[in-house]
Amino acid sequence: MSFDPISFLERAVQTPSHEGVDEMRALLVSTLEEHGASPTIDDAGNVVASKGEGQPHVVLNTHIDTVPPHVPFERTDHEIRGRGSCDAKGPLAAILAAFLATEPSTGTLTLAVTPDEETASTGAAHLDLDADAYIVGEPTGLDVCVAARGRFQGTVTIGGTGAHAAEPSAGVNAISGAAQAIAALDSFDAEFGPAPHPRLGPPTLTPTLVEGGEATNRVPSQVTITFDRRSVPPESADRLFDLLGQHLRAHTPDTLSIDVEPEDRPTPFLEAFETDPEAPVVTALQTASGGEVRAFGAATEASYFAKDAPTVVFGPGHLQDGAGPVAHGEREYVTISAVEEAGVALEDALETLFDSE
């Protein structure tokens, strides 16, 4: 039975996976079994299947979860529309086509599909595959992405002294302190930030949520600012949080308390990564796809794998197009031709990688 990536993609997009992935994972497992593979589900919910043995070991990876809300399936002559069509069930369909079509005479090909890339990445953090190269499926417009910024999240809690609003001088206003702290976020990189990266540009530090105040007639005693950090090499999460605390303390009055804390999460933050553009996995996939070698626009689980071996991000679809957001958007879509082209390019690149050894 030959595998049809478009038929699979139609079924996948009609399988909601924004609240749980059990149904989508069952579809993936049954599809692999129908085509002769022997997948397993590990303790973290990853679907893993391998063929061949020895070196090189190449891993194909993507994820089956999607962001809410679900967007219903629709097909036109040229497009598959709906939630997950490009992020990342379109890339998954292309990866499946390549995995099922490839029979390495020497070396090992592994498919590893994670369940929670959009949230905590516990699946990816659990994987220990000891590979020689990773190809991570995400919507890149068939470009070969060799770098991505990291994503850290944390909070700044400003503590003041509550008082009656009729006598504001009797207290210390945490909201006023928050305004000073937000201004200090803007100046952090000039003092402590890494230099702009040749591919990724400068890091960003963005306040995304402010919560505070207890009553309309009371000087507020506490405000919490949530911030989003998009990092570039060589910045680590530990270094960011340490330096940010020092910077904010130096730029706010001593009458306020300042507490900087990382997001409480069960897995490491996704840190920035960069792969050598001359690595064999890059050249093989670029030659096969004809795509540009560039940076990816979002944080990705490729961050975990890049610590192990050269890693690229590749797939059909776009994060955004000329009309606005695509991935995670209300008009998410992928073109049928791009999914088919991605599958062929992946198959050709794998043939090159296994034949080159």
Active site residues: 65, 117
- CA-to-CA dists, residue 127 to 33, 43, 93, 344, angstroms: 21, 10, 21, 27
Where would I find the H helices in 251-335? 280-289, 302-305
Is residue 211 within 8 A of residue 200, CB to CB? The reply is: no
- CA-to-CA dists, residue 8 to 5, 14, 27, 183, 303, angstroms: 5, 10, 9, 49, 28
| Spatial CA neighbour of 59 closest among 272, 288, 305, 271 | 305
Q: Who's near 328: CB < 8 A, 6+ residues apart?
A: 67, 87
Where would I find the H helices in 217-293? 237-250, 280-289
Q: Phi and psi of 81, rounded to 5°?
A: -120, 155
Is residue 332 within 8 A of residue 304, CB to CB? The reply is: no
Element (H, E) at 191: helix 174-192
Is residue 32 within 8 A of residue 40, CB to CB? The reply is: no
d(CA 32, CA 38) in angstroms, rounded, equals 7
